[in-house]
Amino acid sequence: MKLVLNIVGMLIVLAICFLISWDRKNVEWKKVGIALIAEIIIAIIIVKVPLGQKLISLLSNGLTAVINCGNEGLTFVFGDLFTGNMSIFIIKSLGNIIFVSALVSVLYYLGVIGFVVKWIGKGVGKLMGTTEVESFVAVANMFLGHTDSPILVSKYLKDLTDSEIFLILVSGMGSMSASILGGYHALGIPMEYLLIASAMVPLGSIMISKIILPQTEKAKSITDVKMDNKGDNSNAIDALAEGANTGMQMVISIGASIVGFVGIVAVFNLILGRFGISLSQIFSYIFAPFGYLLGLDGQNVLFEGSLLGNKLILNEFVAFQDLGAKLSALDPRTGMICAISLCGFANLSSMGMCIGGIGVLCPEKRGTISRLVFRSMIAGVFVSLMSALIVSICLLYTSPSPRDTR
């Protein structure tokens, strides 16, 4: 029964994407099919095949060990506020974003990220028939943020078609940056779950975006994309300092956003409380059908609905905090599916960030970005849901082993 629900869920996601498509007649279903099959194969390899599971486990342990190195800096600066029993969200959950952002900035400057993105991107491009710029940005979103990855190809943005711009937006909305992973992990989300979701972003983004806005304009031929790794940094130390500063800005921005949105939710709950309901309960019922199609059981259907609503209307940190608090009470399969469905920046506040961030890189495309950004947010939600549905199928006959959520 769950297999049928998952397949129906995938068909419904594709059908909704088709219904909101700008050009239904020109959808390249062959390309969509290739992307779907490739994404399923990737999921099988990393979720069911022992070698793939081992690779994800090694990457998870390695990345967790590196992220934990940032604890030394947090301990030095905050002392007992970090090491003590007090739970200060901005320090314990968001603090490591500063360290990881600095590390990513150095790797970015040294060309490590650019090298990985270039060669994986070339492979994705050959498989999917996408342009180099599209492929590189789709892959870069596995490591960088939705407003950072376009910097790699900023000098080409003005020459891109609407379909290429849309794919850039969708891959950003459906992805997570490496700098943020430490924050999610600190909320109790296993790193394996986050890495599985990240691995599925490039192909999922291409599949969803090419249904909603197919490539009909003639794309400019750019055969040898040269990515900008250095930016304005004069050396690696400068890159590290800028990365740490950017991480601090991210922490403040995320913290401020959560304060504002959670406060607004409290106002709504104050009003709705007079009628015996809350905003979370409303979200539960609105988004519950997706929990049902994911094959979840009982109250977990409503719980997933609440998580999806919080992620879309508020942000993924609020949703991950709710999930992390309950993760130990969920079976491993349910926990993994719920986590993967939440992975990505697709929420209302991200639309403004995309318009502002990418618009600065290419003012000529600001109007285009503004026109495309709302559907790109919806598409980003579907990228994560499609990944969760595929993983759900893979887990039907092989449950993941229980994880240490810390």
Cα–Cα distance, 392 to 268 (Å, whole number): 34
Cα distance between residue 52 and residue 401, in whole Å: 14
Burial of 313 (0-12, 13-18, 19+ CB in 10 A): middle
Q: Which residue has the tokens 């449950």?
A: 399
CB of 342 within 8 A of CB of 316? yes
Tell me the pLDDT tens digit for each residue of 271-326.
988 888 887 788 888 888 998 999 888 788 988 988 988 888 777 888 888 898 88
Distance, CA of 50 to CA of 55 (rounded, Å): 9
- CA 245 – CA 262 distance, rounded (Å): 26
Amino acid identity at 139: V
Helices (H), 190-315: 191-199, 201-212, 236-272, 279-293, 299-313
| Number of folded domains that form the chain | 1
Contact 117, 136 (CB under 8 A): yes
Q: Comparing C-alpha atoms, which of 293, 394, 302, 381 is closest to residue 47?
A: 394
pLDDT, residue 217, reads: 77
Task: Please state, in angstroms and as integers, the Cα–Cα distance from residue 206 to each residue in 39, 143, 170, 337, 353, following that order.
Answer: 11, 17, 8, 21, 21
Residue 306 included in any domain? yes
Helix axes 191-199, 201-212, angle to 10 degrees: 50
Q: Please, are residues 245 and 105 in contact by the beta-carbon 8 Å criterion?
A: no
Question: What is the CB-side half-sphere exposure of residue 308 using CA atoms within 13 A?
Answer: 29
Q: Does the residue 400 lie in any domain? A: no
| Model pLDDT, residue 145 | 65
The span from the CA of 394 to the CA of 41, in Å, is 10
**pLDDT for the residue numbered 76:** 76
Task: With a cut of 50, list the residues of the chain below it in pLDDT.
Answer: 402, 404-406
Domain that holds residue 218: 2-394
Exposure of 16 by Cβ count < 10 A (0-12 exposed, 13-18 middle, 19+ buried)?
A: middle
Phi, psi of 183, deg, nearest 5: -65, -45
Residue 18 is predicted with a pLDDT of: 93
**Residue 339 confidence (pLDDT):** 92
What's residue 398's pLDDT? 64
Q: Is residue 403 part of a domain?
A: no
Structure letter (DSSP) for residue 399: P
Taking the CA atoms of 272, 280, 377 and 89 in sequence, report the sign of the dihedral they define: positive
pLDDT at residue number 340: 93
Instruction: Identify the pLDDT of residue 406.
Output: 42
